[in-house]
Chain A
Amino acid sequence: QVQLQESGPGLVKPSETLSLTCTVSGGSIGTYYWSWIRQPPGKGLEWIGYIYYSGSTSYNPSLKSRVTISVDTSKNQFSLKLSSVTAADTAVYYCTKRGYFDVWGRGTLVTVSS
């Protein structure tokens, strides 16, 4: 049974870069599409983008200029970088599997504040 775990700083300063990693356990990252999704406090869900194990990516146009998703197959991990963050980027960030998101990490709250 595949499990996902997000990790990274819980506090990021405005204008800096948010960096998170998702570790895949119980299975190989060498299959499926792997996505990042975020949820601002009390609000709905927003898909950020995905990466295939081969390295091909797709990003939400609303964030595309600031987002980079990468994969490290040797570590069974994929990562998110979001640059030039503002308070509007404060959210719980989830990593997920497949196009219909059948497995989710527990999520990690990232707060953007000075």
Chain B
Amino acid sequence: DIVMTQSPDSLAVSLGERATINCKSSQSVLSSSNNNNFLAWFQQKSGQPPKLLIYWASTRESGVPDRFSGSGSGTDFTLTISSLQAEDVAVYYCQQYYNTPYTFGQGTKLEIK
């Protein structure tokens, strides 16, 4: 199985400031056949299902605000929220869909400082 490890486990950021969440996979999720990274990011608010934010490591899902961006390749990835808003308080997960079993990171809890 590909193990996904996120850092930090929790994060407190002031409104309007940048938030950065890291995700590391135990093996590369970059496909040599199409040069895509099989990595997605999700936001989960309390009592709701996860919501897809980013796929292919850096492609923003339709309707997701442009303050959310994804970067990285191979085994190291980052989700950045450029200017934190109150509604961004949530748990964030990375996920690999390169190999089954598909696996998630343990989650990063983002709060307002």
Interface residues of A, count at CB 8 A = 19
Query: Does B85 belong to the interface (CB within 8 Å)?
Result: no
B77 CB–A CB distance under 8 Å: no
A61→B99 CA distance, assembly (Å): 12
Instruction: Judge whether A101 and B93 touch: CB under 8 Å.
Output: no
Q: CA–CA, A102 to B59, complex, Å?
A: 12
**What is the minimal beta-carbon distance from B21 to any residue of chain A, in angstroms?**
14
Complex contact B55–A45 (CB within 8 A) = no
Are A47 and B49 interface neighbours, CB within 8 A?
A: no
CA distance A105 to B50 in the complex (A): 10
A100 to B103, CA, bound (A): 11
Asked if B34 is an interface residue, CB under 8 A from chain A, the answer is no
Q: CB-nearest residue of chain A relative to B106? A: A44
A45 to B105, CA, bound (A): 8
| Number of A-B pairs, beta carbon distance below 8 Å | 50
* Interface of chain B: mostly helix, strand, loop or mixed: loop
B106→A101 contact, CB < 8 A: no
Specify which chain A residues have a CB less than 8 angstroms from the CB of B101 in the assembled complex. Answer: 47, 60-62
B61 near A101 with CB under 8 A, answer: no
In this complex, what residue of B is CB-closest to A62?
Answer: B101
Which residues of B line the A interface, CB within 8 A? 1, 38, 40, 42, 49-52, 55-56, 61, 93, 95, 97, 100-107
20 pairs of residues in contact across A and B, judged by CB atoms under 8 Å:
A45-B104, A45-B107, A46-B104, A47-B100, A47-B102, A47-B104, A50-B100, A62-B101, A94-B49, A99-B38, A99-B97, A99-B102, A100-B95, A100-B97, A101-B40, A101-B50, A101-B52, A101-B95, A102-B55, A107-B49
